[in-house]
Each structure stands twice: as structure tokens, then as C-alpha cells.
Amino acid sequence: MNETAIEFRDVVKCFGDVTVLNHLNFSVKKGEKVSIIGPSGSGKSTVLRILMTLEKIESGAVYVAEQPLWHEIREGRLAPAGERHLREMRREMGMVFQQFNLFPHMTVRRNITEAPRHVLGLSKNDANARAEEYLQLVGLSDQADKYPHQLSGGQQQRVAIARALAMRPGIMLFDEPTSALDPELVGEVLAVIQRLSQESDLTLLLVTHEMQFAHNISDRVCFFDKGEIVEDGPPEVIFTHPKEARTREFLKLD
Ligand SMILES: Nc1ncnc2c1ncn2[C@@H]1O[C@H](COP(=O)(O)OP(=O)(O)OP(=O)(O)O)[C@@H](O)[C@H]1O
């Protein structure tokens, strides 16, 4: 587990006058399961959005699978990344958002097969077989012909997970995947992510407000505040005897 899957080196990200990431240094090893916790507005989602190239950074560097995300080597020199490089880098990662963002006019099966067919060039049969494999993994094999509006929020989020997995990324990013769900539907989505974390060698980076869940699935938990990592350690330490006062306060341990 020595290869680095994700690395932020001295990254600064601002929105206008507001510094959202303040010289952030952060890395995740290949196969590691890491949760980011912290107060609202601390920059947690921004980390994931930068990885998906949905946001640019002001300075510093981001590496994915040990390659620079925003730069590429052209003619032996480091040059700003072209669209092709960005597309290739994005392919290393699958992201599941708070909102499921399924295509409403497509069946569940087509939601999952669309990218494998058109981005990876899989045949219809191969893409369908892949959709079946991942629908089984998320427990929705019998829903392939339904449309998103015919499913519960929890089922839609499980389809979104299957859709991301069907691209076979090495890294899965989850941005508060249960925060848009009714409480009674949270468990089924967490169960799927938990199974993924136990049974796969995927690298997993999860932003969550579900502390017990972060405790259960993570190798490491990072507590973010004001765009910095205040504390970073195994869940047994962070959730029971963190060193930093700010972490204790956030977790209401005092
Ligand atoms: N597109 C944007 N334009 C301006 N400000 C933004 C934008 N996106 C995020 N921000 C601001 O950046 C800060 C960090 O946002 P971010 O979503 O990363 O926080 P977060 O820790 O994920 O919060 P939450 O737990 O509420 O989702 C917030 O103050 C937010 O208002």
C-alpha cells in the first residue's frame, strides 16, 4: 500500500476573497479508505470537486495516481493539461454526489451502460453484463428496466454508485452521499458503501457527516476546519481521544 492515489501539495483555493483551502497538504494511499469530516463550509466538498476538475486551484499541485492532474509532460516539459489529459485523469475516479444526478429519461440499465459504451467503447452486450454485475452489487438487479422517478431516493443513490463503479475507476469519491436522503433510506446506501470498503481494493475518499459510519469504514479520518487539516489519524483515535481542541469541540467530546 505504498503507492499514492491522491496528493494535494500546498494547494490554495479561493472563491473571491475567501480562502477555502489554505496551503493544504493531504494524501491518500492506494487502497486506503479515508473520511473527511468537519464543519459546514470548511472546504471538504471543494477537495473532491478539485479532484474531478470541477474547480481549479490558485496554486500548489494535485496528483492523482502519481500524475499531475492539471499538468502533463509534453515534449519533456511540464505544460498545462489539455482536455485529453484531464479526461484521462478523470477516468481514474468515480464520484457520487449528494444529489444522484441520474439521467431521468433513461432506464436504470441505460444510466449505467451509457458511459461504458460511449466513453470506454464497450459493446452493448458487454456494457449490459457490466450493468448487471454492479446492479447485483448494490442489490438492485430487479430494477434495471425502471426509470429513476420510479425508485426511492436510496435506490437512486445506489444506482448512482453502480454507475460510477461501472467505469471501473481506481478511486471512488463520495460527497455526503446520504445527506439528501430521508433518514429511513440512509442505511441501505451506507451498507453498500461499507460493503465496497470491505470487499474491494478501491481507494475511497468520503466526505460525510455520518460519524459512526466514518468510524466503521475508514482506515483514516481527517478533520478539516477552515481549509486546513486540523487532525488526521485512525478512527479509534480521532473519535475517542483526539489531540486537538478544535476536533474535541466539533465532536462534542468535552
Ligand atoms: N462556487 C462557489 N463560489 C463561491 N463560493 C463557494 C463556491 N463553492 C463553495 N464555496 C464556498 O467555499 C467554502 C467551502 O465550501 P465546501 O462546499 O467545500 O464546504 P464543505 O466543508 O463541503 O461544507 P458542507 O459540509 O456544508 O457541504 C464555503 O464557504 C462555500 O460557501
Model pTM?
A: 0.93
What share of the chain in percent tops pLDDT 70? 99
Q: Average pLDDT of 4-32?
A: 95
Say if ligand 1 is within 6 A of residue 40 CB. yes
- What pLDDT is attached to residue 1? 52
Protein residue closest via CA to atom 2 of ligand 1? 15
Residue range 64-75, pLDDT digits in tens:
999 999 888 888
| Alpha-carbon gap, residue 22 to 27, rounded angstroms | 15
Residue range 153-189, pLDDT digits in tens:
999 999 999 999 999 999 999 999 998 888 888 899 9
pLDDT band at 218 (very low <50, low <70, confident <90, very high): very high
In the reported structure, the alpha carbon of residue 51 is separated from the centroid of ligand 1 by a whole-number distance in angstroms of 15
Question: Does pLDDT of 111 surpass 90?
Answer: yes
Protein residue closest via CA to atom 30 of ligand 1? 41
Question: Does pLDDT of 2 surpass 90?
Answer: no
How many other CB atoms are there within 10 angstroms of residue 52's CB atom?
A: 17
